[in-house]
A and B are shown apart, each in its own frame.
Chain A
Amino acid sequence: MSHPIDLSPEEEAAGHFSGAEAPTRRRSVQSHGLRLVVSEWGDEAAPPLLLAHGGFDFSRTFDRFAPLLARGGFRVVSWDQRGHGDSDHAPLYSWDADVRDLLAVMDSIGAAPIPVIGHSKGGSILTHLIQACPHRVSHFVNIDGIPFQKTPPDVQDHERTKLLARELSGWLDHRAAAATKVRRPGSLDELARRRGRMNPRLSLDWLRYLVRAGARKDPGGWRWKIDPALRPGGFGPWRANWTLGRLASLPVPMLAILAREEEPMGWETTEADVAPFLPARSRAVSFETGHFIHIEKPAEVAALVLEHLS
């Protein structure tokens, strides 16, 4: 990995985490003029599957989880969503744009139906994609990406309905500042700790590893690569029950993996919430973890996923 600024030995060391592997291949896909960076793990000739990350994450947050699926015999393909990771920052962001970008990545893999796995917002945009293009998907794994009562914290302008004056003016104030906004710099450890506020159950070593993959160092310090125009939360006309109510329509078997421990980014949907809406040949399983189930329990989640796909 090349950086314009030399790294200290500690910063170099932060780029290693037990069990984590950088993508085997990196490439890019054009989605209507926007360059999206694609990460792949495993044998290029193996059957492909697609991994979709959550809001404010990036494909390399799968550096620990994806290699386990690759060792299970898959070519694992993920991408940095617009504005996230190494992909282009876009003039505009929306749910519909994310779904269109996702289809551009799928088109770069092939037309045959493939398994898809999504975490958080990634699970939710995949739910939309499967309903819009059911012929493109063979199996679905949704990792804490089913909205229920609580409005998801990592989606923009889509799932939320809560309207508070403060929320509206806060959103507009953020947009007003976005033209000139840059990510706040800090030391590698400061960025790791900042992220730890939203990911309190993840180890500092893992968060430091994420800084190495998701931030860059310039003369001012380390800064996350994510577009500063993006902001967690938001509001919009969409209702969680529109997504939930249509889960039952999915024509592919779904494995829903849910978290039992509450944390800031969690969606707090339980097995009982999902049970009435499960499509045929599907099941819901929960873990004693927070929202990042595949990071807290990578081996267990990978084993479940591989069993679901077999």
Chain B
Amino acid sequence: MSVVHLQHAKVSLALHPLSEGDGRPLLLLHGLGERSPKALAGPVAGWPGPVHALDFTGHGESSPSGSGGYTAEVLMGDVDTALAHLGPCTLLGRGLGAYVAVLIAGARPTQVRGALLCDGIGLAGGGPVPGSPRVIFADSGGNASPDPFALAELSQDVRPPDYATAFIRQANELSGLDRPVSVCCVERPAWLEAVVKEPGVVEANVEEALRGYAALA
């Protein structure tokens, strides 16, 4: 199965098909500085439908910005581009990918059929409130993967708890799911502490959560 390249504004995104199957796709979202896995491993291997993995802008085989400008909201647009190609998916996000999964679960509530939030790099971002203002520099991005600007900017974006919970409320209101988000991680930055207290968010292990979402109509 070969990589599919999708265009998101000026960026070419790499979507990796990892396995075939019947039913709704599972879409894997990697952590900060990571890239999509080459093969299925662990509990996701039991997913009945096809499994895909998306390289975020500036990661893996997706093209970099070179001149920065990375935000979690732009990565949410990356996932939206994949959803437009695949149709409704269940999402499994690691670290930064878990935060992005929360954003897209709220922004495209009918396209995201459950999101699993897992430990991974970049879960905390830049914390709940801004620190002292700074200009973010990185070694010239060029075509390096991961783009040094992605690492610098996406490790410092502010993530207020009530911003994250606003997306959860959108998911609760509009997805039609009882439990649109499953928290499967140990690390609990402030935004996730708030998210886990919201209705519609459950704490579960990955296997349970995958079974629950696989059983959804």
Query: A residues touching B (Cβ–Cβ < 8 Å)?
Result: 31-34, 82, 89-94, 96-97, 99-100, 103, 128-129, 131-133, 157, 161, 163, 165, 168-169, 171-172, 175-176, 178-179, 229, 234-239, 242, 246
Contact = CB atoms under 8 A, between A and B. Distances in A.
Nearest 9 Cβ contacts at the A-B interface: A92-B69, A131-B133, A168-B107, A97-B69, A178-B9, A34-B67, A91-B65, A92-B65, A94-B69
Nearest to B84: A176
A140 B134 CA distance: 18
B174 A165 contact: yes
B39 interface: no
Contacts, number: 129
Given A92-B74, A176-B8, A246-B133, 14 more contacts: A33-B142, A92-B70, A132-B133, A163-B166, A165-B107, A168-B170, A169-B107, A169-B108, A172-B76, A178-B9, A179-B7, A229-B9, A236-B73, A238-B158
Interface in B136-188: 136-137, 140-142, 149, 153, 156-160, 163, 166-167, 170, 173-174
Contact of A96 (B63, B68, B81, B141): B68
Contact of B57 (A82, A92, A172, A179): A92
B135 A100 contact: yes
Given A82-B67, A168-B107, A100 B81 contact: no
**B84, B135, B156 interface centre (most CB from chain A within 10 Å):** B135
A133 B134 CA distance: 8
A176 B74 CA distance: 11
Contacts of A171: 73, 107
A175 B129 contact: no
A94 B107 contact: no
B170 A242 contact: no
Contacts of B10: 89-91, 178-179, 229
Contact of A133 (B76, B135, B153, B158): B135
28 contacts: A31-B67, A32-B140, A32-B141, A32-B149, A33-B66, A34-B66, A89-B10, A90-B69, A91-B9, A91-B64, A91-B67, A92-B57, A92-B74, A94-B71, A94-B74, A96-B68, A96-B135, A97-B69, A128-B133, A129-B135, A131-B133, A157-B73, A172-B76, A172-B77, A176-B77, A176-B81, A176-B84, A235-B73
B contact face: mostly helix, strand, loop, or mixed: loop
A168 B170 CA distance: 10
Contacts of A234: 73
Contact of B153 (A96, A132, A163): A96
B136 A96 contact: yes
A90 B74 CA distance: 13
B80 interface: yes
A90 B156 CA distance: 21
B68 A237 contact: no
A34 B140 CA distance: 11
Contact of B160 (A34, A94, A132, A237): A237
Contacts of B70: 92, 94
